[in-house]
Amino acid sequence: MSNQEQNWIQAYMKETFSEQKKARRWGIVFKSLTFLYLFVALFMVMQSTALKPGPKQSEDHTAMVSIKGMIAPDQDANANAIVTALRNAFDNEQAKAIMLHINSPGGTPVQAGYVYDEIQRLKGLHKDKKVYAVISELGASGGYYIAAAADEIYADKASLVGSIGVTASSFGFEQTLDKLGVERRHFTAGEHKAFLDPFSPLKQDEKVFWQEVLNDTHQQFIDAVEQGRKDKLAGQDKTKLYSGLIWNGRQAKALGLVDGLGSPGTVAREVIGHETIVDYTVKPSPLAAFTKQLGLALGTGIAQQVSQPGLAM
C-alpha cells in the first residue's frame, strides 16, 4: 500500500471518528433538551394543580365525588379512591349533601359493589345527608350500579343510562390450531380448571355453569337497583328494564331509572340548595397523571386486558 493510500485511509478514519463524536454530542444535547422539556412540563402540571383555586371546605357546600371512566382496580375510578373521597365528604360537617358526578361505561362488579355498599353504610351513619347521583354523558352498567345507591338520580336528557346486565367474553382458537398443525399442551389439576382457555374446546356443561355465574351476578345487580330505587320502578316491564338495554335521559326518567333532568350545577343550586360545589375526588399525583399521558402504562393495560378474563358490568 502506497503512502498516498495510507494517508487517505487515515484521513478518512479521522473524519469518520470526528463525525461520530459530533453525532454523540448532538445526541446528548437532544436528550438533555428532552429531559428538560419533560421536567418543565411536569413542573407546570404540578404548579397548575397546586395553585388551582377552589371553594373552601370550611363553608357550607355540596360535596362532589367524580366517577369517570372504567371502574376497575387499575383505573382512576377505583373503589379505594372513590370510597376515600366519600368518607372525607361525609365526615365534613360543612358538606350538606353528597353529589356523585358519574360519567362511566361500567367496570367490574366487585369494584361497583364495594362503592355501592359503602354508600349505603355511610348513609346509615349520616342520616342527615342525602346522596345525589348526576349522570353526564354515560351512566351505564357498573356506573348505574353505583348511582342506584343514591337517594335521587339526575341525568341530562341526552345522557345514556342503564345497561343493567353482566358480560364476559373471550375467543375460541382451537380450530385455528388444528389448521396450523399446532398441538396444544396444557396441563391442569382439576377437571374444569382450564374451561376459560381460548385454545381448548368449550364443553356444554362448562357453558351452562358459566351462564349460571353470569345470571347470579346479574341478579346481584338487579337486587341492588331494586333496593336503591324501591317503588320508583313500579309498573315497569322488569324483563326489558334488566335486559342490558340502554336509554337516553328522557326515556330513563319515564322508566323510573332517574328522578329528573339536570346538570351538577342545576342540581346543586335547585335541588340541594347549596350552589357552591367542592370537589372531593381523589386524583392521581401529578407525576402519575403525567406519565400516564405519555402512555407509559399502555403496555400494562393491554397485557391485563388480554391475560385476565373476567366479568364486567
The mean predicted confidence, pLDDT, of the chain is 84
* Cα–Cα distance for residue pair 143/161, rounded to 1 Å: 9
Is residue 257's pLDDT more than 50?
A: yes
Determine phi and psi for 210, rounding to 5 degrees. -65, -35
Q: Which has the closest alpha carbon to 70: 309, 305, 306, 295?
A: 305
* Cα–Cα distance for residue pair 161/207, rounded to 1 Å: 30
Position with higher pLDDT, 212 vs 180: 212
The 10s digit of each residue's pLDDT in 127-173 is 999 999 999 999 999 999 999 999 999 999 999 999 999 998 888 88
Q: Which has the closest alpha carbon to 147: 37, 232, 39?
A: 232
Q: Where are the alpha helices (DSSP H) in the chain?
A: 3-51, 79-91, 109-125, 142-147, 174-180, 204-229, 238-241, 249-255, 264-266, 286-293, 298-307
The backbone region for 260, taken as left when phi is positive above 0, alpha when psi lies in -120 to 50, beta otherwise, is beta
Is residue 2's pLDDT more than 60?
A: yes
Is residue 120's pLDDT more than 70?
A: yes
Within its chain, how far is the Cα of 8 from the centroid?
Answer: 65
Q: Are 262 and 271 in contact (CB under 8 A)?
A: yes
> DSSP letters along 53-113, please?
----TTS-EEEEEEEES-BSTTSSB-HHHHHHHHHHHHH-TTEEEEEEEEEE--B-HHHHH
pTM for the whole thing?
A: 0.76
Contact residues for 166 (Cβ-Cβ < 8 A; gap 6+): 109, 214, 217, 218, 221, 311, 312, 313
The 10s digit of each residue's pLDDT in 50-83 is 444 445 677 999 999 999 999 999 999 999 999 9
Angle at 283 between CA 71 and CA 104, to 5 degrees: 25
